[in-house]
């Protein structure tokens, strides 16, 4: 991530911008108060949006390794709770948006588990950004472990993490984890009426067929549950074509 203009630099922020993580750790150990300093960043998000941020926000935006994230968080634990001023995102949001490792995200959640349920100005939790930026299964599992209901959280457009994962072609393992955390999400529609199944059918990714089968099987299992003959349930199945599917065609999820 590029910061086009910077105000209020300290030795710590300079080291972060240079991605000199050894110096970052040393500065935090000897001058922990540096981790409390807010600075102004123009272009912090998408090269356009200005924000006031803490060193922890900056480090997470630059894919800082676990040890550096932990050093900054230890120097100023309260900073893990703080939100930058533009989109009101925590360090955990920014880490997930920037493709941080599972170890780094686990450190942040270790200091502040509630970050897993924090929403930004767009109604998105860290898991939404993890699903849209190629996060590993480890990251998703860390978030769900801290806050299992994260799989049920919708953003301002009605998108669940499952919608995001399917739209961006996430791994089959991640889609499975989200379905296990919230099985009913298979039927939830976005603000514009899309289900996870309709979203994944619109994209091209190497595991598309596998995800489509997974989602169809989950929907099929739900349709054959105790509510099968309820009018609204039957109508929903007809919309997806599941009322034509034979039982033998379902694969084990």
Tell me, letter by letter, the H, E, C secondary structure of the chain: CCCCEEECCCHHHHHHHCCCHHHHHHHHHHCHHHHHCCEEEEEEECCCEEEEECHHHHHHHCCCCHHHHHHHHHHCHHHHCCCCCCCCCCHHHHHHHCCCCHHHHHHHHHHCHHHHHCCCCCCCCHHHHHHHCCCCHHHHHHHHHHCHHHHHCCCCCCCCHHHHHHHCCCCHHHHHHHHHHCHHHHHCCCCCCCCHHHHHHCCCCCCHHHHHHHHHHHHHHHHCCCCCCCHHHHHHHHHHCHHHCCHHHCCCC
Percent of the chain whose predicted confidence (pLDDT) is above 90? 78
CA torsion 156-157-159-165 (nearest 10°) is -100
Per residue in 126-180, pLDDT tens? Answer: 999 999 999 999 999 999 999 999 999 999 999 999 999 999 999 999 999 999 9
Which of 122, 124, 126, 117 has its CA nearest to residue 91? 126
pLDDT of residue 41: 87
42-50 mean pLDDT: 75
Give yes or no for residue 232 having a pLDDT over 90.
no
Angle at 148 (CA atoms; ends 144, 154), nearest 5 degrees:
95
For residues 195 and 186, the answer to whether their CB atoms sit within 8 Å is: yes
Terminal Cα distance for the chain, rounded: 39
pLDDT of residue 8: 60
pLDDT of residue 226: 44
For residues 72 and 56, the answer to whether their CB atoms sit within 8 Å is: yes
Ranking 87-91, 215-219, 221-225 by mean pLDDT, the lowest is 221-225
CA distances from 109 to 91, 132, 141, 207 (A): 10, 19, 12, 30
Instruction: Choose between 223 and 4: higher pLDDT.
Output: 223
Mean pLDDT of the chain: 88
Give the pLDDT band of residue 247 (cuts 50, 70, 90): very low
Q: Compute the distance between CA of residue 208 and CA of residue 219 in angstroms, rounded to an integer.
A: 16
Per residue in 170-206, pLDDT tens? Answer: 999 999 999 999 999 999 999 999 999 999 999 999 9
């Amino acid at each position: 991530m590029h910061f086009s203009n910077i105000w209020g630099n300290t030795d710590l922020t300079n080291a972060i911008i240079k991605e000199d993580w050894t110096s970052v750790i040393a500065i935090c150990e000897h001058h922990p108060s540096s981790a409390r300093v807010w600075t102004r960043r123009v272009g912090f998000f998408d090269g356009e949006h200005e924000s006031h941020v803490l060193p922890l926000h900056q480090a997470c935006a630059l894919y800082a390794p676990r040890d550096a994230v932990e050093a900054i968080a230890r120097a100023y634990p309260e900073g893990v709770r703080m939100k930058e001023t533009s989109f009101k995102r925590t360090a955990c949001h920014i880490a997930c948006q920037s493709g941080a490792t599972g170890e780094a995200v686990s450190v942040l959640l270790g200091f502040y588990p509630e970050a897993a349920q924090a929403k930004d100005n767009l109604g998105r939790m860290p898991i939404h950004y993890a699903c849209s930026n190629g996060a590993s299964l480890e990251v998703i599992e860390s978030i769900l472990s801290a806050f299992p209901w994260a799989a049920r959280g919708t953003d301002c457009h009605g998108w669940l993490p499952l919608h995001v994962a399917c739209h961006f072609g996430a791994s089959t393992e991640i889609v499975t984890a989200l379905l296990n955390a919230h099985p009913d999400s298979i039927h939830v529609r976005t603000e514009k009426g899309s289900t996870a199944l309709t979203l994944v059918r619109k994209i091209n990714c190497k595991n598309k067929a596998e995800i489509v089968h997974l989602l169809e099987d989950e929907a099929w299992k739900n349709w054959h549950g105790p509510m099968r003959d309820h009018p609204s349930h039957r109508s929903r199945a007809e919309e997806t074509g599941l009322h034509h599917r034979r039982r033998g065609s379902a694969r084990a999820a």
